[in-house]
Amino acid sequence: MPVPDDDSAGGTGPLTAVVVVGATGFVGSRLVRHLGDAGFGVVVCGRTRLERFADRAAYPEVIAALDAGAVTGEASPHAVAVALDDLARTHRLVGVVASIGGWSIADRLEEVPADTWAGFLDSHLTSHLRAVQRLAPRLPDGAAYVVLNGAASHTPMAGSGPVSVTGAALHMLVEVLRLESAPGGVRYREVVVEHAVAGDERNVDPDREVSARAVGEAVVAALAPGSEAVVRVGATPA
């Protein structure tokens, strides 16, 4: 597993930090732990329950918190700039991990209400674009911006049409960002989780599961220089 060049990991370089967008979700909260174990300081960003991270004894890896409204929502991004300027005094920001959205089983697409559809577009797609626009310019050249996606992004799933459609669009979003990125600039990466993540009580009789640890390992690998553009977790070997 790649380890950051970081005093907290036993190295001699500057302390390194990663922003986790969606840090209060099931997968995001576990990524916070895994990134901390890998030696990164973590800036947590979430819409709710951020207060849990105020307990630094319980979450020693957390070095700062950002309200999601200033990252993925309509709120002014000024607070983001201030927080990351403060962070730069002690840490080198080396990446962003976006774990936004989630799974849903609901109506057939023909029956999805317009407001529900609009909500999915905002939470599963537009929020990603806002986060990129507000965070990517703060990353140094060579840093990684890692987006989590799921199997529905490439496999149509009945009853989860909004997730499949926005997941496919999210994949294309990352592809375009990668093509538009300047040589030597931000490295856009996608981690595709091919099965339900074990331990999530929302799972409904999944055929297969992957561990949160496996997802964390894939994210750490995607952050590392020279990583593959798309990393798949739980993919069946060809």
- Give me the tens of pLDDT residue by residue for the chain, a chain 238 residues long: 343 544 443 334 569 999 999 999 999 999 999 999 999 999 999 887 788 888 888 899 999 999 888 898 888 888 888 989 999 999 999 999 999 987 777 788 999 999 999 999 999 999 999 999 999 999 999 999 999 999 888 988 888 888 999 999 999 999 999 999 999 999 999 999 998 888 665 656 567 888 999 999 999 999 999 999 999 998 766 5
Whether residue 130 contacts residue 75, with contact meaning beta carbons closer than 8 Å, is answered with no
Euclidean distance between CA atoms 77 and 62, whole angstroms = 21
- Kindly report the CATH class assigned to 7-233: alpha beta
Q: For the chain, give every domain's residue range.
A: 7-233
Spatial CB neighbours of 226, under 8 Å, sequence gap ≥ 6: none
Spatial CB neighbours of 238, under 8 Å, sequence gap ≥ 6: none
Q: How far is CA 194 from the centre of its chain?
A: 15
Q: Are strands 91-98 and 15-21 parallel, antiparallel or unpaired?
A: parallel
Q: Give the Cβ contact number of residue 198 at 10 Å.
A: 15
